[in-house]
Amino acid sequence: MSVNSNPRSALSRQNEAKGLEHERLLEQAQGKEALKHAISAADFYLKAVQKGASGIDAARLRHKVEYLLELGETIKANDKQAAASSRPPELMSTRVLPMPERAILYRSSKLHGLTFPPWTANTESKMFSGTSPNQIPGPYIDPTPFSLSPEQQTIFSGWKRPTELVPEVDKSDPEWMMTAENENDLAQDLATDCSVVASLCAASPHFTSKKGSLLSSLIHPFDYENMRPKAVENGPYLFRLNFNGCWRSVVIDDRLPATSTDRTLYVVDRRNPKLLWPALVEKAYLKIRGGYDFPGSNSGTDLHVLTGWIPEQIFLKSDDIELDQTWDRIKKGYDEGNAILTLGTGNIPPEEEEALGLVREHDYAVLDLQSDGNSRSLLIKNPWVDSLVWTGVGSSATLKTHTVGSTPEHATNQFWMAFEDALQHFDSLYVNWNPNLFRFRQDHHFKWDMPDATEEPVFTKNPQYSVLSRSCSPIWVLLSRHWQDGELEILRERKAERDRHNASLAHVSKQLGFMSLSIFAASPPGTRLPLPESHRCLHQGPYVDSPNTLLHYDPTPNTPQTLVVAQGELPLPAYNFTLSFFSASPLTISKALDPLPYSETITGAWTRRSSGGSAAHPPYFINPQYSITLPQATPMALLLSTDVKDLPIHIALIYSSSPTKRITSISGRDILVSSPEYQRGRTFCQTSASQPLDAGTYTVILSTFEPGQLGRFVLRVSTNVSGVVITPVMSSQAGKLRSVFPELAVFKDGEERLRGRIGIGRLTRLSVVARATTTTTGLTSSGSGGGGGGGGLRMKLELGTGPGRRVLGVSKGGEFTQDHVGVLLGLDEGEVDVDPEMVRRVGGLWVVLEQIGGGAGGAGGRGVQVEVYSDGVVSLGDGGWECVDED
């Protein structure tokens, strides 16, 4: 009876399983096949709800149904638009987004006090329903306060409609503003958006093509018969722009900023002065970037927004660039219509600008590529109306004027440049690739709270993904950072500072920080990494100051690999990101999991009282110590990081008999596992999975290389079991006076027992630390091994002398410590209380050092340095070290 007690729930689970299978197939499909699986998955999820899914599950499945139906409509609309514009359907992510990721996209809709909702299949119909596009009631006025720079404001004369800007046109036919009579020649004047205008120039063939125009998906309404945007009298215009994780709707009116002079604040077509759709595209883009005074971008980013094509930044000054391979790749992409190219200069010195004819920190459009034998060259355009042009070899043949009718017009600002010269004089080549070069796409969206400075050097808070491919075909991964208001405020503030000091604009952009992508071969495959050095890096992407960065690599078939998102100096507390994966074969992508699923973290600091340096220094045991109690046997991984990036740090894990007892002596065999020798800013160690630690208590010592080095740290302990307890072990030496014996205790030939006096004046609590070292004519040098011979060493604290003496404390349970050069010894008892009256009666308080199996001492031999930590003043070494022979 129990098996059939809830048949509706069983049917619900069966239907959900069928829905999941269609959802999996949906990720591997496009077009009609994707539509079929979207509808089927939605149908089975709906049946699962109807068959008795529980409340939480029912809500989750209803959200999936809603999303799948919306996705299906988008697929249909995409195919319909592609057929109308005679181009292939747009490559879409058919992954079903979970609710948290959908929430990220909706939160990223807010920008500059405006809302830019995700584009849906019915966005256009909602905007223009119920009326002819040419008869929108109006006039429509966009209330957005487009900002202008002080220079722009001095000549600004108001916002004007197209018929006011070009009064001689036939007002009965507004299509004039969408029609080009000559070849396009777009130019920038007083706007600060060279990257936008360069983008429009470079993409012009794709926008104006009569077959497959990209404008058909960019600006609405669109005239598919004449393959041009439709003119909307008095506005509005609806734009579909790609930013903040998805395609979004942006609405503007048709008013443009007019001036009181012959200068312009918007992009103009010098051969088609009546053509205004480029200025409308520019206005829509500047609306999402903050206004006509926005501090700047790069053309790769701009084209990604306008076209959705994949942006790649090629650093031309990089030592890793392969000249022939790069040329062949971009030439093939350009000739096949799958690549749009632009260039960016760096911070060229002013004296070189005039000599070279190039503008510093400026974007240029690439209009053509030619190769003839060993000659390879690019046709480059400066988008400024009146500006410098390249004066190098090959430029003189290309500076020509064009004519409209019979009237000569201005120069086109175009010039040919050898590819080798471009590598020398430009910093970056921006290539935007057609996503339809691939068959499959997956988009993943995530929020990233920036780590504290103590965890910046490690990967504990970094987003990491497991990526599995069944083939070896290339994978491209695009990381896109969502824009937010705080970034614009930083840019404007830094730009104002830059203008005051005539600094580099590149310096301004770097104020927004850097980000990077890397792929690793983790162990186990596809799991999270603790820090970069812990596993083999297969492909390391550059750190870029752009909101987009691209990584492409050849995967290892059937082996999950770990993708890591990294950042540097991102200034805001949290960001939203999108990862887009492009491939020729299906991918299995998920968030990477920790190989040890249970983790505990604890924070601390090396202070003046708790920074004891390495084990080569006597104060080593004042370093922070933590007790780790394991309830069951388990492997363990320890990760330590600090906010001081250059600080050398180390981890040592030691078995302990008590969670409250500090380690006061140590030898190499005591250490169960340790990190590599003093790595800067971060370090890591782990036990073998095949030899887990037994249940019990362990102590970890965290040290810097030198005493007195300060910094905050985070310790992360990862295991296979829950219930691990981490507690600080209080230092017996914290706040104590540190006294050092003035001389080394040096064993001479045949000597096995030395003692030195400790004098006290009142009741005192003290501890003793000894460090074996080497000596050369009285000078000491610490080390972890070698020099001074072998043998064992033991330390005691004794009250009195002769047969009646009493041992107050001993190191290592009374055992001799082998290989003692560099080894630290402390009293097992930690601290002891000493009464001065008792000391006086029995004949003194002594530190006793004993060796066994030692060789000759003397100059160049073995010595021991002894320190005392006390809560009262003590005197050390009265009478020096003396050799005694007491049984």
Domains of the chain with bracketed CATH? 7-90 (1.20.58), 131-296 (no CATH), 309-437 (3.90.70.10), 438-591 (2.60.120.380), 598-728 (2.60.120.380), 737-883 (2.60.120.380)
Residue 597 is predicted with a pLDDT of 96
Residue 793 is predicted with a pLDDT of 87
Residue recorded with tokens 């470079």: 202
By mean pLDDT, which of 44-48, 406-410, 522-526 is the weakest? 406-410
Q: How many residues can be counted in the chain?
A: 887
Answer with the residue of higher pLDDT: 116 or 877: 116
Residue recorded with tokens 């080390």: 783
User: What integer is the mean pLDDT of 204-223?
Assistant: 92
Residue 387 is predicted with a pLDDT of 66
Both tokens of residue 233? Answer: 């009298």
Is 874 within 8 Å of 739 (Cβ atoms)? yes
Alpha helices, DSSP H only, in 339-484? Answer: 350-356, 419-425
Residue 21 is predicted with a pLDDT of 96
Residue recorded with tokens 């005694």: 884
What does the pLDDT look like over 543-588, one tens digit per residue?
999 999 999 999 999 999 999 999 999 999 999 999 999 999 999 9
What does the pLDDT look like over 611-651, one tens digit per residue?
999 988 888 888 999 999 999 999 999 999 999 999 999 99
Dihedral over alpha carbons 300, 305, 310, 312 (to 10 degrees): 20
Alpha carbons 881 and 885: distance in angstroms, whole number:
13
Burial class (CB in 10 A: 0-12, 13-18, 19+), 779: exposed
Residue 437 is predicted with a pLDDT of 97
Burial class (CB in 10 A: 0-12, 13-18, 19+), 786: exposed
In this predicted structure, the answer to whether residue 492 has a pLDDT above a threshold of 80 is: no
In this predicted structure, the answer to whether residue 501 has a pLDDT above a threshold of 70 is: no
- What distance lies between CA 116 and its chain's CA centroid? 26
- What distance lies between CA 535 and its chain's CA centroid? 18
User: pLDDT band at residue 785, thresholds of 50, 70 and 90?
Assistant: very low
Alpha carbons 305 and 502: distance in angstroms, whole number:
30
Cis bond before residue 728 (omega within 30° of 0):
no
Query: Radius of gyration (Cα) for the chain, nearest Å?
Result: 36
What does pLDDT average to over the chain?
88
Alpha carbons 771 and 744: distance in angstroms, whole number:
10
In this predicted structure, the answer to whether residue 310 has a pLDDT above a threshold of 90 is: yes
Residue recorded with tokens 């991964």: 477
Both tokens of residue 231? Answer: 């003119």
DSSP 676-690: SS-EESEEEEE--TT
Residue 6 is predicted with a pLDDT of 56
In this predicted structure, the answer to whether residue 759 has a pLDDT above a threshold of 80 is: yes
User: pLDDT band at residue 2, thresholds of 50, 70 and 90?
Assistant: very low
In this predicted structure, the answer to whether residue 295 has a pLDDT above a threshold of 90 is: no
Active site residues: 194, 362, 382
Buried b (16+ CB within 10 A) or exposed e, 243-263: bbbbbbbbbbbbbbbbbeeee
User: What integer is the mean pLDDT of 320-336?
Assistant: 95
Alpha carbons 664 and 652: distance in angstroms, whole number:
13
Residue 736 is predicted with a pLDDT of 82
User: What integer is the mean pLDDT of 63-90?
Assistant: 92
Is 710 within 8 Å of 605 (Cβ atoms)? yes
If you average pLDDT over each of 287-291, 734-738, 817-821, which comes out highest?
Answer: 287-291
Is 496 within 8 Å of 526 (Cβ atoms)? no
In this predicted structure, the answer to whether residue 776 has a pLDDT above a threshold of 60 is: no
Answer with the residue of higher pLDDT: 730 or 107: 107
Residue 317 is predicted with a pLDDT of 92
Local structure of residue 662 (DSSP, 8 states)? P
